[in-house]
């Protein structure tokens, strides 16, 4: 287990997380640190426990053992609302946008601004536009466009903007580029990078090594429910990360040889 040394303490830190679904042990003694202003890529093969780990952090799942620390103090996150109060927002793969509503309405859904009885459309429109500007979004011509008329990349952008509208500190993105073409992937990655540059702690779940290396500062690799490495992206190569994902170890990184439990993952299903 190797941990990269960073100057600032982590914004959010998970320590010794265990989680099982019935007899299946999904997470075993997982440590995971997220830093403000950095993109932390969370990689791992299908079933390695990536989604389970972020759902534990975001309050969708409880965990069996371990602790979460936010800004160094222990916190309990029992529900998505607890997470939202800490400023942890998660953008799921299916985005959950209403196609029949416009961008502003989607971004403020459930937390609308009102003046008296009526919706304060002007204020919401201004805030939405400001948020998009802060992310340097240039692909959206009008915030009054209906979301159904947007492209996949634009929809992803709106979902991300929705997550950062709420003074969020941690933004977790679940495979944001999985369904996108080349140009749109680039647009979304630019926004991911900008999120971190604006001071957010960003977690990027991805299968795509190009995406991971394009925007990440740090890489955390899960292998069969264990955190096998948390390293600076500049310290490792594509090949090493692929080895960590598929075999749990790569040279000095990862699991020590004697505790290696399974082989048989020889790169199947990993996009390069």
Partner 1 sequence: MTTVVRPPAPAAPAPAPSLADHLRAYLSRVRGGEMGSLPAILGIVVLVVGFSIAKPDSFPTPFNFGNLLAQSAVYMVVAMGLIFVLLIGEIDLSAGWASGVAAAVMTVLLSGKHVNSYVAILVGIVTGTVIGVVLGFLVAKLRVPSFVVTLAGFLALQGVLLLLVHEGEQILISDQNVLAINNKNMPVWLGWVFYALAVGAFSALQLARNARRARRGLVREPAALVAFRIAGVAVLGGVGVYELSIDRSQTIFSSVTGVPIVVPIVVILLAALTFVLKRTRYGLHLYALGGNTEASRRAGLPIDRLKISAFAICSTLAAIGGIIQASRDNSVTGNSGGANLLLFAVGAAVIGGTSLFGGRGRIIDAVLGGFVMGIIGNGMGLLSAKNWQRFVVTGLVLLAAAAVDALARRRSSATGLR
Kindly write down the DSSP assignment for every residue of the chain, as one continuous string. --B---SSPPSEEEEEEEEEETTEEEEEEEEEEE-TT-EEEEEE-TTSSHHHHHHHHTTSS--SEEEEEETTEEE---SHHHHHHHTEEEE-TT----TTSBHHHHHTTTS--EETTEE-HHHHHHHHHHHHHHTT--S-S-TTSBGGGS-HHHHHHHHHHHHHTT--SEEEEESTTTT--HHHHHHHHHHHHHHHHTT-EEEEE-S-HHHHHHH-SEEEEEETTEEEEEEEGGGS-HHHHHHHHHHSEETTEES-GGG------SSTT---
Residues 3-32 that bind partner 1 (CB under 8 A): none
Residues 216-255 vs partner 1: string with x where CB under 8 A?
Answer: xx---------------xx---------------------
Binding segment toward partner 1, per CB under 8 A, in 24-32, 50-58, 117-125, 256-264:
117-125
- Write down the least CB distance from residue 14 to partner 1, Å: 23
Under the binding rule (CB under 8 A), the answer on residue 142 touching partner 1 is yes
- Write down the least CB distance from residue 253 to partner 1, Å: 17
Binding segment toward partner 1, per CB under 8 A, in 69-77, 144-152, 241-249, 251-259:
144-152
User: Of 36, 75, 119, 127, which lies in the binding site for partner 1, with binding defined by CB under 8 A?
Assistant: 119
Name the residues that contact partner 1, by CB under 8 A.
94, 96-101, 105-106, 109-112, 114, 117-119, 122, 125-126, 133, 136-138, 141-142, 144, 146, 148-149, 151, 186, 189-190, 193-194, 213-217, 233-234
């Amino acid at each position: 287990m190797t941990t990269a040394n960073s100057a600032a303490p982590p914004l959010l830190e998970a320590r010794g997380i265990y989680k099982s679904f019935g007899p299946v042990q999904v997470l075993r003694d997982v440590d995971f640190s997220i830093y403000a202003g950095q993109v932390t890529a969370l990689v791992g093969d299908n079933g390695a426990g990536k989604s389970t780990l972020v759902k534990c952090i975001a309050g969708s799942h409880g965990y069996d053992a371990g602790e979460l620390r936010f800004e160094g103090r222990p916190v309990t996150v029992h529900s998505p609302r607890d997470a939202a109060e800490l400023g942890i927002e998660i953008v799921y793969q299916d985005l959950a946008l209403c196609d029949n509503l416009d961008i502003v309405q989607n971004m403020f859904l459930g937390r609308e601004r009102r003046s008296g009885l009526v919706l304060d459309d002007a204020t919401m429109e201004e805030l939405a536009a400001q948020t998009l500007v802060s992310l340097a979004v240039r692909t959206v011509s009008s915030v009054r466009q209906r979301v159904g008329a947007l492209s996949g990349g634009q929809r992803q952008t709106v979902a991300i903007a929705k997550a950062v509208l709420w003074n969020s500190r941690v933004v977790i993105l679940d495979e944001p580029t999985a369904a996108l073409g080349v140009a749109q992937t680039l647009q979304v990655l630019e926004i991911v990078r900008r999120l971190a540059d604006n001071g957010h702690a960003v977690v990027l779940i991805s299968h795509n090594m190009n995406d991971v290396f394009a925007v990440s500062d740090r890489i955390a690799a899960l292998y069969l429910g264990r955190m096998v490495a948390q390293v600076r992206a500049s310290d490792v190569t594509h090949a090493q990360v692929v080895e960590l994902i598929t075999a749990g170890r790569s040279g000095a990184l990862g699991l020590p040889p004697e505790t290696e439990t399974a082989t048989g993952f020889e790169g199947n299903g990993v996009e390069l």
